[in-house]
Structure 1
Amino acid sequence: MAESISDQYETLEKIGHGSFGVIRKVRRKADGKILCRKEISYLKMSQKEREQLHAEFQILSTLRHPNIVGYYHREHLKQTQDLYLYMEYCGNGDLGRVIKGLISRKEYAEEQFVWEIFSQLITALYRCHYGVDPPSVGKNVLETVTMGKAKAPQGAVTILHRDLKPENGA
């Protein structure tokens, strides 16, 4: 019998959970690379929820950007009706954790840090929305705008992020 994808990973620890299932930190046995694995149970999902989930990982599999969490692959475990999504592990946590830490220490974020996060967020959203990287800083942005609308490449899929919050960024 062929080895399943999950057999190629060592489970290290549970790092999160939600209504969808569990997120675990895993190590790929072949090279020691650390990833996270979202374990999603299909059993309690409606057909519409399953279709939405399928659409989401189809989108994730096409997005490649330094400021978007990387998607590696998925595995469907037919026997348990679980879906495993293997994604980039963000070891420093999410922006929500950083904000909570600042609040608990009664500190403010440095202005440079705020600008860096803002820049990363905007470039990632631009890639989602237009399918290309934004114009470089200093370039005449008006060249890319026609009648108030940016030109998306022909055939590009427009993605609107529906759940922007500090906990969804790394």
Structure 2
Amino acid sequence: MGSHGKCQKIRRKSDGRVVVWEEFCYATLTDSETHTLMSEVKFLKNLKHPNILRCYDYIIDSINSKLYIVMEDCMSGNLASYIASSIRERLYLDEQLIVKIITQLTSALEKFHRTSERRFNFFHPNLKPDNIYLDSEQNVKLGKPSYSPLLHQYEKCSIWSLGCLLYELCTLCRFVPGPQQKVLTQNLTTGTFLNSFPEQYSNELSILLHNMLNLTDHLRPSLESLLKSKLLAKAVSKEAKKEHQRRVAQVKMNKKVRFARKNKENLPPGDPRIVALQNIAKKYQTNSQHERQVEKDWNVTCLRL
């Protein structure tokens, strides 16, 4: 999908948020590829999770065969740059941070798979440090999938990819570096590919890694069992508490906005609560218009196909 498009950062007028504006031209795609592309975007729009890069909206220009997508912007870089920084400083990552990253990614993948099973047949093979972003609080954001058709045992494939990432977080080395690929492939058959696991990490983390990289796919843990494991359960509880606090803060903000609506005659012009109320109303109106236009263009596109 990325080979047909370009992107740039823009600032949204309604709230001043910096977002990524992506433009795709699907004129050269076949009917089947175009239908898949539209399904991917619709899937992204419905995928909402705190650790998944958010797709805010999309616009279909069927006349010029162009698709515009508004994506969340991650300004703190990706996991690859964070790992590279640790390599330069010759410092291993803290185990609590590693567990936090793996927990958030596991939760994001579970949401992706659960949504895909209900509506779409997509598999997320793009689980690599370059496609995983960090915010200012070192929370991860799983980037856009490089979609593939749904594969048999696709969850087990995700577990394997997650294990490769965990190996890189712990050792600061790629699981399958280019020059040593043949040697590591030979070691896979004997299970000797984890000899360099740093001793500073706990035995529980080492066992988790071995289980995720089990050569027999049905012996690998499921995403659900990973979240319930002893090592990740505490981190899952912290994430749930953090999400609850975020929702409570949102409720308080909504109450302030409603209060401003009822008492706006007592507030001076330009008060932040009035501005917030106007921006929210404008956003809802704009989103509603976009939804109607998107559905109309989507129906026209489906008819063309």
C-alpha distance in 2 between matches for 1:100 and 1:44: 38
Out of 43-52 and 66-75, give the one that drifted further.
43-52
C-alpha distance in 1 between matches for 2:125 and 2:131: 11
Match in the other structure for 1:139: none
Query: Is it true that 1:56 corresponds to 2:19 in the alignment?
Result: no
TM-score in terms of structure 1 length: 0.66
After superposition, the CA RMSD in angstroms is: 2.4
Out of 47-56 and 116-125, give the one that drifted further.
47-56
Deviation at 1:70, TM superposition (A): 0.9
- For residues 1-170 of structure 1, the aligned pairs below 5 Å read 18-78=2-62, 80-131=64-115, 156-157=118-119, 159-170=122-133
After superposition, give the CA deviation of every residue in 1:5-56 in whole Å (9 maximum; x if it has no partner): xxxxxxxxxxxxx513222111012221111112112133232322221111
The residue type paired with residue 46 of structure 1 is T
Larger Rg, first or second structure (1 or 2): 2
Identity %, equivalent residues: 34
TM-score in terms of structure 2 length: 0.39
C-alpha change, 1:156 and 1:43, in structure 2 (3 Å) is closer
C-alpha distance in 2 between matches for 1:38 and 1:167: 18
C-alpha distance in 2 between matches for 1:165 and 1:23: 21
After superposition, give the CA deviation of every residue in 1:74-105 in whole Å (9 maximum; x if it has no partner): 12234543211001111112222222333344
Structure 2, unmatched stretches of 5+, are 134-305
C-alpha distance in 1 between matches for 2:81 and 2:35: 31
Deviation at 1:67, TM superposition (A): 0.5
C-alpha change, 1:156 and 1:100, in structure 2 (3 Å) is same
SS in 2 for 1:114: helix
The residue type paired with residue 57 of structure 1 is V
8 Å CA contact retained: 1:71, 1:86: yes
What is the number of residues matched between the two proteins?
Answer: 131
Match in the other structure for 1:135: none
8 Å CA contact retained: 1:76, 1:82: yes
Q: Which has the higher strand share?
A: 1
